[in-house]
Structures are given as C-alpha cells and as structure tokens.
Amino acid sequence: MKQLKPVLIIISFIIAVSFVVPTLLVLPFSSDQASGKLDESKKNPPTEEKLSEAVEVAVFRSESKTIEKLPLEDYVVGVVASEMPAEFEMEALKAQALAARTYIVSHLMAKDEKVPKGADVTDTVTHQVYKSKDELKKIWGPDYERKLERITKAVLETQGKVLSYNGSPITASFFSTSNGYTVDSEDYFPNETPYLKSVESPWDKDSPKFEEQKIVSVAEFEQKLGVKLGDKESVGTITSRTSGKRVGSIEINGKKFTGREIRESLNLASTDFTWYRKQDHIVITTKGYGHGVGMSQYGANGMAEEGKSFKEIVNHYYSGIDIVGTDKFLKQYTAKK
C-alpha cells in the first residue's frame, strides 16, 4: 500500500492539471479583453409601416410649377386633409385615408406618363387634391393643430394598409354625396369594374350638397349643348336611367346625350337631374354631388355616426375587397426604380 501512494499522488496531479490547463488557455482570450467580436445581425426586413415611410411621392404643384417630394404617409395626410372635412367622424377619416393611400400606391405601380417630368402625380382632382402643411395652416387658421391631429391620427391608424381586389390595389374612386345610391362604374366611366357596384347610401340625405338648384338662360343652355329648344314646351326627354337612378340618356329636340355629357357641358353637380323652362331660363335641380362611383364621403360619415367602423364602411362601398398590407406592392414599385 505504501508503494501505491506515490502512484495515486501522480494520478491525482495529472487529473488536476487536465482541468486547469484548458482554463488557463481560455483566460488570456476572454471576451473582456477582445478587440473584436463575432456579431449576429439584428437587422429585420422593413415593416409595412417603415416601407411606406421610406417611399417618396413626387407631387407636381400646379400653382408654383414645382415638384414637392415627401414621404408617402405625409402625402396621404395632405390628401385626406384636402379631400374630406376634418370634422368628419374618425372612422370616416380612416376610410378616406385607406382610399387615398390605395390610390397613390396603385398609381405609383402603374406610372402615369402624362404627368410633368419628375412627378408622380399632380395636386389637383386629375389625381387627388393635395395641400401642404403651410397651405393648410392658412386655410384652417387657429384650428390648424386640432384638425391636423385628427387627420394624422386617421392616417397613422391605417398606416401600411390598402384596399385590394384579386391581389391588386383597387381603383378607390370616391365622391362627395350620392342621391341615395352609388352607381356602377360602367354607367359613368368607360370600363366595368367588379368592386365598383351600385349600393344604397341613405345617409347622404343629411349632406348640405344633397340637392342643388341651378338656373341658366335658354341662350346659354342652347349654346353649351349645341341645340335649339324650339317651342317653349319642349325641354327634352329622358330616354333611359342608369344604376343609382340617374339619367342614362336624354334627347333634346332630336339630339341625343348621355347623362354624363349633360353634367359636364352644363357643369352640374351630378347626373341625377331634372329641369323645367321658366320664360327665358332653364331651372335645373340636381341630387347628389360628384360622379357617384365608389365611396360616398357623406355616406361614409353617416355610417360612422351610426357606429360603423372604417372596415364596414369600405366593405359597403367597395364590393368584395380586402384590406391588405402595402409591403408587396411597394416592394414591386421600389424594385422597378
């Protein structure tokens, strides 16, 4: 046993060294003294919100003839502020924000060659009305901060979202006030669009623009339409109606017109019109304000006043659509640039 003691001591020493040596080897290279480390990337793909913030819209300012570039979401704020009263219900403002964002995303993807060089859109009704914050300050005066806060809230709470049909952004048509119904797209525009169908819109009756009267002289009426009324009893005949109970076609002393042609020639509020002759004047009454296709703004506000959400509003006025993220569409747009 005495002879075994030295052997056991040696074995114990070897075992102890086997534990200590690796530690000694590691200590000189501890991370505390390292001059560089192997990093792991924490970079995530841009979210829909970040991507929509990164994309810029180039707006041709019609008055100054200059181009203003700004982030997409700031552009949407300027459009909603210009296209819908800031006093409208929040859910109606959100619905308008979705429509405005959908319009510009769709427009960016399609690329309009008719706009001035370097611009994506104009600031007029040709595309969407847009006003800068400086312009809004002048228009709103002391109410600027309050109104801008409401508009911005609506835009932020729908940020990164658009309206889609069959995987593509829709043509998000909107207008001020219906006559109680919207119209099928093909009853006003050249093409049929499956999600732009006539729906009831009874809330519009509360709009200050629901009914309007306009008086023009017989001479002006004849000149603008290129007709002669003949005897004083003859003021034309409505020969067909469109969806939404509007004038489809009309005949005046042998000459045929569409309701849209009459509206545009006489600068009427809508294609739901009637008139009568009073001495040397034509008294015209219209119901509704705008082309009647898509979302009625006053209808949207009426729905919101009844407690409907922005999702319910857009699904009422745009048939069979989905609310989706902008990510896929904006990636396609930026990839083309």
Sheet holding 168-169, edge to edge: 168-169, 161-165, 322-325
**pLDDT at position 4:** 44
Q: Is 301 exposed, middle or buried (0-12, 13-18, 19+ CB in 10 A)?
A: buried
Q: Mean pLDDT of all residues in the chain?
A: 87
Amino acid letter, residue 254:
G
From residue 265, how far is each of 7, 37, 184, 207, 219 by CA, in Å?
Answer: 115, 74, 22, 25, 14
| Per-residue b or e along 131-159, where b marks 16 or more CB atoms closer than 10 Å to that residue's CB | bbeebbeeeeeeebeebbebbbebbeebb
Residue 3 CB: number of other CB atoms within 10 A?
6
Average pLDDT in the 302-322 region? 98
Per-residue pLDDT band for 211 (boundaries 50, 70, 90) equals very high
pLDDT tens for each residue of 93-148: 999 999 999 999 999 988 777 889 999 999 999 999 999 999 999 999 999 999 99
pLDDT tens for each residue of 243-274: 999 999 999 999 999 999 999 999 999 999 99
Per-residue pLDDT band for 73 (boundaries 50, 70, 90) equals very high
Among 45-54, 125-134, 327-336, the least confident range: 45-54
pLDDT at 19 over 50: no
Question: Is 57 within 8 Å of 107 (Cβ atoms)?
Answer: no
